[in-house]
Amino acid sequence: MTRRNDWDNAFTATDLRTPLRESPSYAGALSFMRRKYTRDLTGVDVAVTGIPLDLATTNRPGARFGPRAIRAASPGISWERPWPWDFDPFERMAVVDYGDCEFDPGLPETIVPYIEKHIAGILESGAASLVLGGDHFVSYPVLKAHAARHGPLALVHFDAHSDTWSEKTKRLNHGTMFYHAVNEALVDDRHSVQIGLRTTNDEPMDFNILDARWVHEYGPEATAKKVLNIVGDRKVYLTFDIDCLDPAFAPGTGTPVCGGLSTHQALEIIRGLEGINIVGMDVVEVAPAYDVGEVTALAGVTIAAEILCLYATNPHRGKAA
């Protein structure tokens, strides 16, 4: 590629499957991994979209700035294909930055249907969505759109918290949405797995739980094998709450909990899921106001890139629902 002083892949890309290696990491538009900003999904395999919501937090707010922080960290790892994969996901798939889902926070009753419609539009084009949160509640309307297309999904859920605390009402926040997702048949909890949990919930529903102590004792390889056994060939939605990582590796989040996974453990588990039938994915709860040296944002974008590699290995991707 010839270096051009007017080149910015976020605006000028014509081949969506060509990685950009020449631009400096400190310059240019803050698109995800230097992907083109576009709402044209013709021929697109994955649309990356931010959902800057943190109105459903129960502790520290600030995850509304997560999509921006993840994008800002992404040029630093976009100069070469993700290691140790033997392929570049941006050569195998057409990936674009679809921009953010904008909604009116002054009309909270409209937020869920608006996000659901936003994601449904991506899925109807034939593309998959990679969502950048936002607090973890955003997974709920995203799952509604995916379940409408694919039926009940197996959930692979990385988190410090179960997010299945039951409520006597339909009250929704970032700790209750998977309780509602199961009850609304968006998720099949019997064939779903939660990884890295380390907070108390005496009513875990029927989720299979590989808590933080289990992962520390048995390691990433055994964890990945267990996940694959649980979900089988079912369609999977993978959600990664950054607080699954120990605060030493991800301080920039709203509800940090000690004793969590290392970045290495999380990445190795994801890599061990190669071939899983993943149809949707998100990385949530990056709150840059509490970050240190942008390490949480870096962890977030690295995990997102790994999940894209994982999606690229799905032998069923791109096939009709």
The 3-class SS string of 287-303 reads CHHHCCCCHHHHHHHHH
> pLDDT for 61-86, tens place per residue?
999 999 999 999 999 999 889 999 99
* Average predicted confidence (pLDDT) for the chain: 92
The pLDDT score that the predictor gives to residue 87 is: 94
What is the model's pLDDT at position 221? 98
pTM of the model: 0.94
Beginning with the edge strand found earlier in the chain, give each strand of the sheet holding 193-195 in spatial order: 95-100, 46-51, 128-133, 278-284, 236-241, 154-158, 193-195, 208-210
pLDDT band at 16 (very low <50, low <70, confident <90, very high): confident
Place of tokens 């020449």: 22
**Confidence at residue 1, expressed as pLDDT on a 0 to 100 scale:** 43
Torsion of CA 58, 62, 64, 70, to 10 degrees: -120
pLDDT at res. 7: 64
Q: Which domains does the chain have, with CATH numbers?
A: 32-312 (3.40.800.10)
Choice between 309 and 13, residue whose per-residue pLDDT is larger: 309
Residue 2, pLDDT > 50, answer no
* The pLDDT of residue 306 is above 50: yes
CA distances from 254 to 120, 142, 174, 244, 261 (A): 28, 21, 11, 12, 17
Contact 227, 190 (CB under 8 A): no
pLDDT at residue 130 is higher than 60: yes
Give the model confidence (pLDDT) of 145-163 as tens digits. 999 999 999 999 999 999 9
What is the pLDDT, as a whole number, of residue 40?
A: 95
Structure tokens at 34: 């230097």
Q: How much is the pLDDT for 319?
A: 66
Ordered DSSP codes for 78-111: TTSPPTT-SS-HHHHS-EEEEEE----TT-GGGH
Distance CA 127, CA 18 (A): 18
Confidence of residue 167 (pLDDT cuts 50, 70, 90): low
Cis peptide bond upstream of 134, omega within 30 = yes
The larger pLDDT score, comparing residue 18 to residue 211, is at 211
b (16+ CB within 10 A) / e for 212-224: bebbeeeebeebb
Per the CB < 8 A criterion, the answer to whether 255 and 54 are in contact is no
Please say if the pLDDT value at position 320 is more than 60: no
Q: How far apart are CA 227 and CA 210, in angstroms?
A: 9
CB 160 within 8 A of CB 197: yes
- How would residue 48 be classed by pLDDT, with cut points 50, 70 and 90? very high
Residue pLDDT, tens place only, 208-254: 999 999 999 999 999 999 999 999 999 999 999 999 999 999 999 99
d(CA 33, CA 48): 10
- Band of pLDDT at residue 20, cut at 50, 70 and 90: low
Instruction: Give pLDDT, residue 29.
Output: 83
Q: In the chain, at which residue ranges do the beta strands (DSSP E only) sit? A: 46-51, 95-100, 128-133, 154-158, 193-195, 208-210, 236-241, 278-284
User: Which of 302, 238, 278, 300 minimizes the C-alpha distance to 45?
Assistant: 278
How does residue 139 score in pLDDT terms, banded at 50, 70 and 90?
very high
